[in-house]
Structure formats: structure tokens, C-alpha cells
Amino acid sequence: MKISLVEYDAGNLPSVERALARQGLETERVATPEAIRAAETLILPGVGHFGQLMRTLSARGLTAPLREVIERGTPLLGICLGLQALFTESDEAPGDAGLSIFAGRVVALPPTDKLPHMGWNQLRRVRPSVLLEGVPPDAYFYFAHTYAALNAGEAAVALCDHAALFVAALERGNLFAVQFHPEKSGDMGARVLANFVAHARTSSRS
């Protein structure tokens, strides 16, 4: 199974590629509507600015295909900004529409703690999770962000607490997203990526 990484200018693409390559997985970069529609398994990596990401996706005609494949149930993992992009809008770029898979606004974390939320933090599990299968409850993951989704309804599987309680991981059917960077989170991050890929394999066979 090949994993397709959505390519746009500001991304953490190479580190995601390396993390998957370490597990012996084959990846390709996709940047056209056709390639996204044809993909078996997708990862939407993300570092940078919400508005810039949404405008780039839109300029390349990728917004509609991404929504289509998510609705169709193609396994997709959003990382960091790739989680935020699933929501309706963000404080970071008022006026730029997100993919709107989840209703709600991504907000600026309040300045009650140091920001950006930068470094390794633990998760609070709220329900059983595919991504976090086999990950010890006290495991640390690497975060680097200032904006966050505070609510994802039933989809939230883990929260994190820094300045506010926010969504650290969400799952709904074949759609997955994490606010942390699994590709930068050592062995625990590798486990999360492996869990996503294993799930995608099963779902493509069924």
C-alpha cells in the first residue's frame, strides 16, 4: 500500500516521509485533484499558517477533492495544521474557510501559559482510540502550535492541557487527525503512524 502525502509549499513533508520510510513504507507526494481522488491512503501534513494552507489548497483545486475523499471514507491522517484544516475556520486567518468536516472554530490558545505550546506533553484519553492503541497512558508527544480546536464532539479521542484543554487526537471512521507531530515524537510517534497505516490497510482490504 502506498501512502500519499498532500504536498503544499510550507510543510513538514520530508520528516513525515522519513518517519514512514523508517517503517519500510512507500510514499508519494500528491498535488493534483486527480492524484488525491486516486489515493488509497492520505496524510495531510502541516506546519505553517492556516490561511496560507487553505489558500494554497484552494488555488490548486484540492479543497473539493479532499472533502470528497474524506466523505467517501479514504483513510486520511491530518497532522498539526492538518488537524486544524478539518474545521470551519481559524482565529489565525479570519475569513479563510477550512475544509469544514467538523463544525467549529480553531482558536488562539489564551496567554495563561507560555505560547507557542512548544515541546513534549502528555495526553488525556477520553475514549478508546485506534491511533493510540498500545501507547502507554503517560507517553509524551511533541507539540508546536499556538492555535487549537477546543471541541470535536464525539470524534475527540484524546485531549491535551496547556493554556486550555484542547483536542490532541480525533477519529471518525477512517478520518484521523492529531495536533502533535508523530513524525517528531520518537518511538511513540512511530507507533501512532504505524497504527494509522495498519488501520488503513485493513479498511482497504474490506
Residues 1-30 contacting other proteins, CB under 8 A: 10, 12, 14-15, 18-19, 22
Residue 141: name the closest of 160, 120, 115 by CA.
120
Question: Quick one: cell of 69?
Answer: 475523499
Q: Which of 160, 171, 183, 199 is catalytic?
A: 183
119 is a contact residue toward other proteins (CB under 8 A): yes
Q: Between residues 94 and 186, which has the closer beta carbon with respect to other proteins?
A: 186
What is the H or E stretch that residue 197 is in?
A: helix 186-205
Three-state secondary-structure class, residue 156: strand
Q: Between residues 2 and 18, which has the closer beta carbon with respect to other proteins?
A: 18
From candidates 2, 29, 114, 127, binder to other proteins by CB under 8 A:
114
- String of contacts with other proteins for each residue 172-191, x by CB under 8 A: ---------x-xxxxx-xx-
Q: Which of 80, 89, 92, 117 is catalytic?
A: 80
Q: Between residues 64 and 163, which has the closer beta carbon with respect to other proteins?
A: 163
Cβ within 8 Å of residue 103, ≥6 positions away: 87, 88
166 is a contact residue toward other proteins (CB under 8 A): no
Q: Residue with C-alpha cell 490532541?
A: 168
Stretch near other proteins under the rule CB under 8 A, chosen from 33-41, 93-101, 155-163, 195-203: 155-163
Question: Quick one: cell of 77?
Answer: 491522517
Q: Which of 117, 145, 162, 181 is catalytic?
A: 181
Alpha helix segments (H runs only) across 28-165: 33-38, 50-59, 63-72, 81-84
**Cα–Cα distance for residue pair 189/183, rounded to 1 Å:** 6
* Residue 160 is among the residues annotated as catalytic for this protein: no
**Cα–Cα distance for residue pair 27/13, rounded to 1 Å:** 11
* Residue 68 is among the residues annotated as catalytic for this protein: no
* Residue 80 is among the residues annotated as catalytic for this protein: yes
Give min distance, CB of 153 to other proteins, in A: 22
Q: Between residues 10 and 64, which has the closer beta carbon with respect to other proteins?
A: 10
**Strands, DSSP E only, in the chain?**
2-6, 26-30, 41-44, 76-79, 89-90, 105-108, 117-122, 124-125, 140-145, 147-149, 156-162, 164-172, 175-178
> Catalytic residues, which ones?
80, 181, 183
Chain residues binding other proteins by CB under 8 A are 10, 12, 14-15, 18-19, 22, 47-49, 111, 113-124, 140, 142, 144-146, 160-162, 181, 183-187, 189-190
